[in-house]
Amino acid sequence: MRFLHFSDTHLGAEIHGRRDPQTGYHTHLKDFLACLDFVVQTAIDKDVDLVLFTGDAYHHPRPDPLPQREFFKRLITLSERGVPVLLLAGNHDMPPGYGEAAALDIVNVVKIPGVQFVRSPKVVSIPTRKGEVHLVCLPHPQRRALITVEEERGWEEDKVQRVMVQRVEELLNKLVRQVPANGAPILLAAHLWVEGAEFAGSERILSATNEPIVPPSVLRRPQFAYVALGHIHRHQVMDDLEPALVYAGSLGRLDFGEEKHPKGFLLVELEQTPKGKWGVKNREFFQTPTRPFVTVELDLRSAAEPMQEAEKQLKQDRRLDNAVARVFLFVTEAQRDQINLVRLRELLEERVNYLAALELRTGTTATQPTAEVRGLEELEHFLKQSPLQLLDLWLQERSSQAPELAQRKEQLLRLAEQLLEASDLR
């Protein structure tokens, strides 16, 4: 039995790109759809028995009709080819308000043959050409779905976190007991944060307190042949133990935090041992034709003719062709006026897909890559800061490269304080 596992398509994210004058489509959506087409084509070419999607189909919980129409076209292609598709709900797929519908609810209303959307924890048994497969489905576990407001009154956050994990574990125990014992393979599909996972930076996980951080040991059970994960945008296999806990990662690049990470999906082949136990025979990561994101940093401080040098070096850099690019030029204060940014912008825009930034930097130190949340510890540190402290931190960081910002920092902080007070957010 062979299946394809992909995740986090985030259709409708229009972060880096522009509206294509020919089609009217945003280029970021176009790029993501090209990746999705590649998924569908690979599923057909490799003759898979099942397509498993682990959540976050659209970027916005109330997506525009365009990404919805395009997502459905591709679901229907798979359906017409007889490939069953399971769509698991991610946090972006959950309705924003109580009583509202999820965008993907319509999948189960119109009944596309073989395609289903799962937004509450349950076991789903799917008939495939190679026999049945059982899917233990764990959509994104939100804090409010696990603990009520009344219940957690007076609890420390540590306790809330502990209880959330405990409830995920109990839920999983209950689901596993419901799986029919008929010898068919069992997969776990979950959209959640596994402890120890490395971030890509584009996940927009705002708070460790709104969702459980689940230890791998809670998910890893001998019954599962494979654990398919969504939520974290970086493709990774959690460790070497069996069954493998695999984040497919986002299908395309959302931002520069993912510049150096490969993007794609998995093709997994299952096999049964003579004793009847199902496991992974072969697992292959396929890279999607995602658009390259490229950061170029030019140090022009020792150049006699900085503008000429910039033009020459940018012209030679083939990585910029058709990329989503950002370009930082390091110059001395005296060189500032010698750089014609308008001219450079023109040159670059002829070649790049989208120019996200073109900036002069006069700091003496080399640039730091944009802040990327590197781990739980750092995230927790940030979560403990007030919005004003965070703004202060950010202004401090930026000021080292933008002296004009340093001069206005105190004033900006005062204004922010007034704003926060007025909106009662402090």
- Using the minimum distance from each CB to Mn ion, give the nearer residue, 379 or 388: 379
- Using the minimum distance from each CB to Mn ion, give the nearer residue, 245 or 356: 245
Spatial contact of 232 and 249, defined as CB atoms under 8 Å apart? yes
323 Cβ contact partners less than 8 Å away, ≥ 6 residues apart: 291, 292, 293, 294, 352, 353
| Choice from 12, 67, 90, 141 touching Mn ion (CB under 5 A) | 90
Report, in Å, the least distance between residue 179 CB and Mn ion. Answer: 25
Region binding Mn ion by CB under 5 A among candidate stretches 66-74, 82-90, 112-120, 326-334: 82-90
| Choice from 9, 42, 91, 290 touching Mn ion (CB under 5 A) | 91
- Using the minimum distance from each CB to Mn ion, give the nearer residue, 231 or 326: 231
**CA 36 to CA 362: how far, in whole Å?**
41
**CA 395 to CA 37: how far, in whole Å?**
42
Report, in Å, the least distance between residue 378 CB and Mn ion. Answer: 19
Spatial contact of 184 and 126, defined as CB atoms under 8 Å apart? no
* Local structure of residue 419 (DSSP, 8 states): H
Report, in Å, the least distance between residue 46 CB and Mn ion. Answer: 26
Spatial contact of 251 and 6, defined as CB atoms under 8 Å apart? yes
- Using the minimum distance from each CB to Mn ion, give the nearer residue, 91 or 116: 91
Between 215 and 244, how does the x/- string for binding to Mn ion read (CB under 5 A)? ----------------x-------------
The amino acid at 148: T
**CA 405 to CA 415: how far, in whole Å?**
14
Q: Please report the DSSP string for 106-136 in residue order.
A: HHHHHT-TTEEEE-S-EEEEEEETTEEEEEE
- Using the minimum distance from each CB to Mn ion, give the nearer residue, 16 or 140: 140
Side-by-side strand order, sheet with 354-361? 293-299, 324-330, 354-361
Report, in Å, the least distance between residue 268 CB and Mn ion. Answer: 21
**CA 230 to CA 54: how far, in whole Å?**
5
377 Cβ contact partners less than 8 Å away, ≥ 6 residues apart: none
Contacts to Mn ion from residues 406-425, by CB under 5 A: none
Report, in Å, the least distance between residue 261 CB and Mn ion. Answer: 16
| Choice from 56, 93, 255, 258 touching Mn ion (CB under 5 A) | 56
Pairing state between β 213-214 and 193-194: parallel
Report, in Å, the least distance between residue 258 CB and Mn ion. Answer: 14
Report, in Å, the least distance between residue 192 CB and Mn ion. Answer: 9
**CA 63 to CA 100: how far, in whole Å?**
14
Region binding Mn ion by CB under 5 A among candidate stretches 51-59, 105-113, 175-183, 380-388: 51-59
Report, in Å, the least distance between residue 89 CB and Mn ion. Answer: 10
- Using the minimum distance from each CB to Mn ion, give the nearer residue, 231 or 253: 231
Region binding Mn ion by CB under 5 A among candidate stretches 54-62, 142-150, 322-330, 396-404: 54-62
- Using the minimum distance from each CB to Mn ion, give the nearer residue, 296 or 373: 373
- Using the minimum distance from each CB to Mn ion, give the nearer residue, 56 or 309: 56
Show the beta-strand stretches assigned E in 209-311. 213-214, 226-230, 236-237, 245-247, 264-272, 278-287, 293-299
Region binding Mn ion by CB under 5 A among candidate stretches 19-27, 36-44, 89-97, 386-394: 89-97
Report, in Å, the least distance between residue 298 CB and Mn ion. Answer: 36
Binding site for Mn ion (CB under 5 A): 56, 90-91, 231
